[in-house]
A and B are shown apart, each in its own frame.
Chain A
Amino acid sequence: MGAKTALYQEHVNLGAKVVDFAGWDMPLHYGSQVEEHYKVRGEAGMFDVSHMTFVDLKGERVREFLRNLLANNVDRLQTYGRALYTCMLNEQGGVVDDLIVYFLGETHFRLVVNAGTHDKDMAWIEHHAKSFDVAVTELTNVALIAVQGPDARNKVHELLSDAQREKALVLKPFNATESEGFFISRTGYTGEDGYEVMIPQDQAVDFWRRLHKIGVHPVGLGARDTLRLEAGMDLYSAEMDEETSPLEAGLKWTVAWEPQDRNFIGRKALEPQYNVTPARKLVGLILDDRGVLRGHQRVIVDGEVVGEVTSGSFSPTLGKAIAFARVPFDVKDQVLVEMRGKQLPARVVKPPFVRHGKACFE
């Protein structure tokens, strides 16, 4: 028995197959994860992501603290609700976690970090916050519902009050707004437009049911993984971890080198690698043969094992298997992947695999 979100009983009532995820009892799917995937690509789906960790940071020196803590530069955040994707690195330049940081005021920022890294993240953040006098508060009385897909925003608008809707309508991607207790963010992990709506726990069931009633399909963690993979988004502990540099995980764009005097944790370790060709890189793979690419399968070039698949699955949109793999920097065009005693050719491509619901490759 794991921890349960405010929506646990809703998942059970909807026939979810419940699995353990980072100590939480979460829905894997509600019947068919492939159908759920199509619903998000074509209509609108909703995900309970309340198991994630929400952290408010307050203090006079909170911006200075985050300039030090995060590899991306929070100085890019100057207006209320602006969001930024970033890694939080250790001194060796490995990734402690990836997260979203929101600007809510000069003395107030909010982080959304992974559930699987909750304990170490909280310890890391609290440890470093001390010297900046930043108060670290975990939000434990909220639920987070992601509504994603081409119809997602319209569906959410239907349920908002006039005041909330007015604010949501003008939200640009990667921005959030707060209205009448709802924190509405135009973000997601699917490659589709939509919102992540943070609401008080005691309103979660009602909001979820109303979404369901107007045709938003419940979607489990299974489809969440295939959607993010198609969208070319990394998953912590698969594509990167404490031993992997963001430069070898396709995340160079999230490391802000300028200004040079911003001394963020991990900078010293990464700096020598900045202008150098990295030893390894993260690529996309497409398997044209029948079979499914899966994490830890070995990647072979010229008869030698040169790397491995970091995550792989069946892509419902492409109708074939896709994956991320970490390989030497000079690998291109085609590799072999070992599966079930066979070596099958896979195309090397640059993710994303799917953009705005359309396949980027055949």
Chain B
Amino acid sequence: MSNAPSHLKYTKSHEWIETVSDDTYRVGISDHAQDLLGDMVFIELPEVGQTVSASDECAVVESVKAASDVYSPLSGEIIEINESLEDSPDLVNRDPYGDGWLFTVKATDSSELDELMSADEYIELSSEE
């Protein structure tokens, strides 16, 4: 069983969301998602300053197996991206909840957070796949 830390929120499309401060949130893909995709070879990240709406495609993770879109879980502005993924896409495999984070979004509507899943709900969803 892949792990899903309980302090994070999750989406059905396998992103995780960590609260950094009041309105900023860090986003990555779950251990389950990286495990399904296998070795990452390219990561395409959004631009810093880019405005996104919840469930917009805003990044692509491409593995030896497949390319997969990453959706922004929240509306807002991209304020930081994980530049080390350019040279080390495998960080997403090795540390999906830590060094393998993708981007940070400054959210404009924190109520969107209520739509997200808890770790328990996510584990249930991912074990059904």
Contacts and interface: CB of A to CB of B under 8 A. Distances in A.
B99 interface: no
Contacts of B35: 17
A226 B65 CA distance: 11
B42 A292 contact: yes
B42 A291 contact: yes
B45 to A, nearest CB: 11
B67 to A, nearest CB: 6
Interface in A257-300: 290-292
A337 to B, nearest CB: 13
B62 A34 contact: no
Contact of B38 (A29, A290, A339, A340): A29
A250 B19 CA distance: 55
Given A32-B39, A34-B39, A290-B44, A313 B64 contact: yes
Interface string B60-77: 101010010000000000
A291 to B, nearest CB: 7
A33 B41 CA distance: 11
B91 to A, nearest CB: 12
Interface in B7-36: 35
Interface size class of A (residues with CB under 8 A): 10 to 19
Interface string B37-61: 0110110100000000000000010
A25 B41 CA distance: 26
Interface string B86-103: 000010010000000000
Contact of A292 (B62, B90, B93): B62
Nearest to B94: A32
Given A32-B93, A34-B90, A291-B62, A314 B41 contact: yes
A292 B39 CA distance: 13
A314 B61 CA distance: 14
Contact of A33 (B38, B42, B60, B67): B38
B42 A290 contact: yes
A183 B37 CA distance: 37
A291 B39 CA distance: 14
Contacts of B60: 340
Which residue, of B35, B39, B90, has the highest number of chain A Cβ atoms within 10 A?
B39
A29 to B, nearest CB: 7
Contacts of B64: 33-34, 222, 226, 292, 313-314
Given A222-B64, A226-B64, A340-B67, A292 B41 contact: yes
Contacts of A339: 67
A29 B44 CA distance: 25
B26 to A, nearest CB: 23
A213 B70 CA distance: 41
B31 to A, nearest CB: 13
A344 to B, nearest CB: 12
A291 B67 CA distance: 9
Interface in B97-118: none
B61 to A, nearest CB: 11
A216 to B, nearest CB: 21
A106 B84 CA distance: 61
Contacts of A226: 64
B14 to A, nearest CB: 17
Contacts of B44: 290
Contacts of A222: 38, 64
A60 to B, nearest CB: 49
27 contacts: A17-B38, A28-B38, A29-B38, A29-B39, A32-B39, A32-B90, A32-B93, A33-B38, A33-B39, A33-B64, A34-B39, A34-B41, A34-B90, A222-B38, A222-B64, A226-B64, A290-B42, A290-B62, A291-B42, A291-B67, A292-B41, A292-B42, A292-B67, A313-B64, A314-B41, A339-B67, A340-B60
Given A17-B35, A29-B39, 16 more contacts: A28-B38, A32-B39, A32-B90, A32-B93, A34-B39, A34-B41, A34-B90, A222-B38, A290-B42, A290-B44, A291-B42, A292-B42, A292-B62, A292-B67, A340-B60, A340-B67
**9 tightest A-B CB contacts, nearest first:** A314-B41, A34-B39, A290-B42, A32-B39, A314-B64, A292-B62, A33-B39, A33-B64, A340-B67
